[in-house]
Amino acid sequence: MPAQARLPGDKAANKAAASTALLRSLAGGLLIALPVVAIGLLVMAFAPAYLVRIAFAAYVNLLIVLGLQIFMGNSMVANLGQGAFVGIGAYTVAILATPIAMKKMSIPNAPFGLSHIAIDPLAAAGAGLGIAGIVALLTGFVVARVSGEAATILTFSLLMIVHSVFIHWTDLFKGAQAFFGIPQVVSLQTAIALSVAGILLARLFKDSRVGLQLRASAESLLAARAFGVDVVRLRLIAWVVGALFCAAGGILYAYFMGTINARAFHFELVLTTLAMLILGGLRTVSGAVVGCALLSILLEAIRTLENGITIGDWQTPPLLGLSGLAMGGVIVFSMIFRPKGMIPRLEFDEALRHWWGRRRSAGTQTGPETDSTSDGEASKAR
Amino acid sequence: MDYAIQQFVNALAFGAEYALIALGLALVYSIMNLMNFAHGEIIASAGYSMYLAILIGFDSPWLVAPIAVAAGALAAMLFERIAFRPVRHAPATTGLLTAFGVSIVVQNLFTLLVSPRPRAVPVLTGLNQTIFIGPYAISSLQLLELLTVAVAITGLVLFLKRSTLGLAIRAATREFSTVRLMGVRANRVIAAAFALSGLLAGIAAIFIVARRGSIDPDFGFQPVIKAFVACVLGGFGSLGGAVFGGMLLGFLDVAIVILLPQDMGGLSDAITYSIIAALLVWRPDGLLTRRIELGDKEI
């Protein structure tokens, strides 16, 4: 029997183990967040303005990918509707926080008298999260209880519905035109801070009871139900939390760019964030971060190529569709050759601990180290 | 009364189109548990093949239509061979995402290689004329569509019930390994299913292009989303459910467009989907299936 075998009634030991696990998750999250912060600080210190903007977009994408990971990675249900929540967050903030003078120009006929009020950015952000949460709750009610593939179709329909509302309700959302005048109150620091918080939360969620049971249900629905796991409730929780993350990304985006447009929250966003998560690895938070970083760089390179580059005297023709092709290609090749992504199972800190444990046991030759309950045993039991 | 008849025929025609596309989706899903997101690109391939045929010089609709159907079947088999065979035994999510990726790749290939802008395909618009049956004016295209779909479905049912390959396909939807034990090659059965699905998609493409008069890189995508929803509505995996869901969706669509005031027209999709979501809360497995308990062995 493992050295840490606990009697079921040993409440104090359980509590101690739980808090160790919590601290471990937090530490793991901080480790994953470290390169994110480092890159951000470098960009802030040395990069020209256009690079700052690109980096900011990458951080926004990171938040969205994290939200995607929370739902998709734990429940293994493909989610194609993240653009809807990003848009809801962004537009709520745009409508509520834009100064009244601007609003009278862009949306003079807004219903509910919204063109006459303007609230402060923080409150508007809260409202954005709140509304996204409500929509997530209502839609999650359906998404959580249908089977996995049907749920995916419904998330896609959600994307289409929300997009069509944005485009057609021009009185409120300005349709396909840009909604300008949003107060630009955030900077790269906020983005970095929010990303770190997001990584920690995603990691905590994954290692929490909800996350663990959800992942179990993804492996075998029948067994999980037999254990009394309420899969519908768990999926709902993951869906709402993921949606809040996406809305936060949208809010950040709106407050940085100062102007938003419904097309930014449609297919391209869904495709990019999906490709990032799949490339990096669905099941791990580290995978989300790695995928986001890699594809942000790749996407920038491809976008420059798409617009045509000039090498000396020679101008390459614009190749519209190249970025979409690349994203789709990334998804297809990842699915065929490495479906679990680049970081399939072990988070950074788990891998480190695993490697450290193996080195130590190889050095002392006393057999597998009983380093912890979870990591060593679980990864061997697989 | 005129209006009612016209809208009724409208609903039938739309329903028939959704049913056709949904059937293709259900065929593939019932065999392979694969949600073929790339079905829209099979339709688009058929459309683009018509465009190319016109460029080469084929002028008559009777020449171009069979080309579209054949192109649909070929494209479907190509997708299967290249992209779906490697993920055949992977979990359903992987297959779905692969199909999504394939869809995006092909759409962008069309954008890159042909044009991001719509291209006119006028050869088929000659079919879209108003004819008069008694005192009522009906579009000839819609009649043709209804007829064709009826024939196609009958043909499909006959094929599935009478031919050996059809029997193998039906058996494969229940228990694939046993089919292989009986000596039927898995690749052949799956390729046949995809070819059938592509055939149906090609037929649908003909009517979609005839109505629109033009093609662009993502014109297959939109109807396929609706068709997916129709499949979910009828119960994913059952062919009858797909047809039922398609017809129901057609009627729902037309009803909502009629009932909505003019300026809210863009929201018709949103309302349709909301109604469907409500129906799904009531019957998560689809309207036609009885509630299956997890762990039930009998289908």
User: How does residue B297 score in pLDDT terms, banded at 50, 70 and 90?
Assistant: low
- Cβ of B35 within 8 Å of Cβ of A274? The answer is no
For A4, A11, B220, the CA distances from A1, given in Å and listed in that order, are 8, 20, 59
Is the pLDDT at A378 greater than 70? The verdict is: no
- Cβ of B97 within 8 Å of Cβ of A222? The answer is no
Residues B17-40, mean pLDDT to the nearest whole number: 91
Count CB-CB contacts under 10 A for residue A359: 11
Task: Please report the pLDDT score of residue A7 as a whole number.
Answer: 62
Cα–Cα distance measured from residue A173 to residue A169, given in angstroms and rounded to the nearest whole number: 6
Helix (H) or strand (E) holding A40: helix A11-46
Cα–Cα distance measured from residue A20 to residue A356, given in angstroms and rounded to the nearest whole number: 19
For A198, B174, B294, the CA distances from B297, given in Å and listed in that order, are 42, 11, 9
- Is A380 a member of any domain? no
Is the pLDDT at B296 greater than 70? The verdict is: no
User: How does residue B116 score in pLDDT terms, banded at 50, 70 and 90?
Assistant: confident
Helix (H) or strand (E) holding B133: strand B130-133
Q: Count residue pairs from A and B with Cβ separation < 8 A.
A: 139
Shortest CA distance from B92: residue in chain A: A149
Task: Please report the pLDDT score of residue A128 as a whole number.
Answer: 92
Among the listed residues B289, B183, B209, the one whose alpha carbon sits nearest the alpha carbon of residue B245 = B289
Determine the residue among B108, B113, B228, B238 to mutate to test chain A binding: the one whose Cβ has the most chain A Cβ atoms within 10 Å.
B108
Cα–Cα distance measured from residue B80 to residue B102, given in angstroms and rounded to the nearest whole number: 10
Helix (H) or strand (E) holding B214: strand B214-215
Which phi and psi (to 5°) does residue A308 adopt? 90, 125
Tally of CA atoms within 13 A in the half-sphere of B87 that contains its CB: 30
Closest to B101 (Cβ–Cβ): which among A150, A221, A331? A331
Q: Which two tokens stand for residue B283?
A: 């019957």
Among the listed residues A167, A89, A189, A71, the one whose alpha carbon sits nearest the alpha carbon of residue A131 = A89
Among the listed residues B223, B215, B211, B209, the one whose alpha carbon sits nearest the alpha carbon of residue B115 = B215
H helices present in A47-147, as ranges: 49-68, 74-75, 82-97, 100-106, 121-143
- Cβ of B94 within 8 Å of Cβ of A331? The answer is no
Those of residues 262-291 in B touching chain A at CB distance below 8 A are: 264-267, 269-270, 273-274, 276-277, 280-281, 284-285
Give the number of domains in chain A: 1
Q: Which two tokens stand for residue A78?
A: 């493909």
Is the pLDDT at B284 greater than 80? The verdict is: no
User: Which of the pair, B166 or B124, is modelled with greater confidence?
Assistant: B166
Cβ neighbours of residue B201 closer than 8 Å, sequence gap 6 or more: B21, B24, B39, B42, B43, B46, B72, B76
Q: Are A238 and A78 in contact (CB under 8 A)?
A: no
Q: How many helices (H) and strands (E) does chain B have?
A: 11, 4
CA distance B90 to chain A (A): 9
Q: Are A143 and A78 in contact (CB under 8 A)?
A: no
Q: What residues of A are in contact with residue B281 (Cβ under 8 Å)? A: 141-142, 145
- Cβ of B285 within 8 Å of Cβ of A147? The answer is yes
Is the pLDDT at A289 greater than 60? The verdict is: yes
Domain boundaries, chain B: 2-218
Residues B22-51, mean pLDDT to the nearest whole number: 91
Task: Please report the pLDDT score of residue B180 as a whole number.
Answer: 87
User: How does residue B239 score in pLDDT terms, banded at 50, 70 and 90?
Assistant: confident
User: How does residue B156 score in pLDDT terms, banded at 50, 70 and 90?
Assistant: very high
Task: Please report the pLDDT score of residue A245 as a whole number.
Answer: 96
Q: Which two tokens stand for residue B66?
A: 């069979």
Those of residues 283-322 in A touching chain B at CB distance below 8 A are: 319-322
Question: Which residue's entry shows tokens 């952000």?
Answer: A125
Looking at the DSSP bridge assignments, the partners of residue A179 are A260
Is the pLDDT at A52 greater than 60? The verdict is: yes
Cα dihedral A226, A232, A235, A240, rounded to 10, equals -150
Cα–Cα distance measured from residue B169 to residue B179, given in angstroms and rounded to the nearest whole number: 9
Cα–Cα distance measured from residue A117 to residue A250, given in angstroms and rounded to the nearest whole number: 21
Cα–Cα distance measured from residue B253 to residue A249, given in angstroms and rounded to the nearest whole number: 34
Closest to A150 (Cβ–Cβ): which among B86, B93, B236? B236
Counting beta carbons within 10 angstroms of the beta carbon of residue B60, is it exposed (0 to 12), middle (13 to 18) or buried (19 or more)?
Answer: exposed
Q: Which two tokens stand for residue B226?
A: 């609706």
E strands present in A274-374 = 310-311, 314-315
CA distance B63 to chain A (A): 31
Among the listed residues A111, A237, A102, A84, the one whose alpha carbon sits nearest the alpha carbon of residue A167 = A84
Q: How far is CA B171 from the centre of its chain?
A: 22
Lowest mean pLDDT among A211-215, B256-260, B279-283: B279-283
Those of residues 256-285 in A touching chain B at CB distance below 8 A are: 271, 274, 278
Q: Are A203 and A29 in contact (CB under 8 A)?
A: yes
- Is A107 a member of any domain? yes
By the CB < 8 Å criterion, does A225 face chain B? yes
Lowest mean pLDDT among A2-11, A208-217, B34-43, B75-84: A2-11
User: How does residue A136 score in pLDDT terms, banded at 50, 70 and 90?
Assistant: very high
Q: Is the pTM value of this prediction over 0.80?
A: yes
User: Which of the pair, A1 or B60, is modelled with greater confidence?
Assistant: B60
CA angle in degrees (0–180, nearest 5) for A61-A62-A65:
85
Cα–Cα distance measured from residue A341 to residue B225, given in angstroms and rounded to the nearest whole number: 27
String of DSSP letters for A367-380: SS----THHHHHHH
Amino acid at B4: A
Q: What is the mean pLDDT of chain A?
A: 85
Q: Which residues of A11-49 are buried (b: 16+ CB within 10 A; e: fewer)?
A: eeeeeebeeeeeebbeebbebbbeebeeebeebeeeeee
Cβ neighbours of residue A64 closer than 8 Å, sequence gap 6 or more: A82, A86, A245, A246, A249, A269, A273
Cα–Cα distance measured from residue B288 to residue B233, given in angstroms and rounded to the nearest whole number: 8
Q: Are A224 and A214 in contact (CB under 8 A)?
A: no
ipTM exceeds 0.85: no
- Cβ of B280 within 8 Å of Cβ of A146? The answer is yes
CA distance A311 to chain B (A): 21
Closest to B108 (Cβ–Cβ): which among A141, A165, A324? A324
Q: What residues of B are in contact with residue A169 (Cβ under 8 Å)? A: 267
Residues B149-156, mean pLDDT to the nearest whole number: 92
Q: Are B229 and B22 in contact (CB under 8 A)?
A: no
E strands present in chain A = 310-311, 314-315
Cβ neighbours of residue B138 closer than 8 Å, sequence gap 6 or more: B5, B6, B9, B130, B131, B132
Task: Please report the pLDDT score of residue A126 as a whole number.
Answer: 92
Looking at the DSSP bridge assignments, the partners of residue B139 are B130
CA distance B55 to chain A (A): 23
User: Which of the pair, B200 or A21, is modelled with greater confidence?
Assistant: B200
User: How does residue B10 score in pLDDT terms, banded at 50, 70 and 90?
Assistant: confident
Q: Are A280 and B99 in contact (CB under 8 A)?
A: no
Is the pLDDT at A382 greater than 60? The verdict is: no
Lowest mean pLDDT among A211-215, A223-227, B24-28, B131-135: B131-135
- Is A80 a member of any domain? yes
Task: Please report the pLDDT score of residue A362 as a whole number.
Answer: 77
By the CB < 8 Å criterion, does A141 face chain B? yes
Task: Please report the pLDDT score of residue A376 as a whole number.
Answer: 44
Cα–Cα distance measured from residue A141 to residue B227, given in angstroms and rounded to the nearest whole number: 22
- Please give the residue range of the domain that contains residue A177: 23-264
Q: Which two tokens stand for residue A308?
A: 């045509």
Lowest mean pLDDT among A4-13, A265-274, B222-231: A4-13
Closest to B83 (Cβ–Cβ): which among A76, A221, A332? A332
Is the pLDDT at A44 greater than 70? The verdict is: yes
Amino acid at A298: L
- Cβ of A324 within 8 Å of Cβ of B285? The answer is no
Residues A338-357, mean pLDDT to the nearest whole number: 86
Determine the residue among A77, A135, A152, A306 to mutate to test chain B binding: the one whose Cβ has the most chain B Cβ atoms within 10 Å.
A152
Counting beta carbons within 10 angstroms of the beta carbon of residue B56, is it exposed (0 to 12), middle (13 to 18) or buried (19 or more)?
Answer: exposed
How do residues A54-82 score in pLDDT, each as one tens digit? Answer: 899 999 999 999 999 999 999 989 999 99
Q: What residues of B are in contact with residue A80 (Cβ under 8 Å)? A: 100
Count CB-CB contacts under 10 A for residue B113: 10
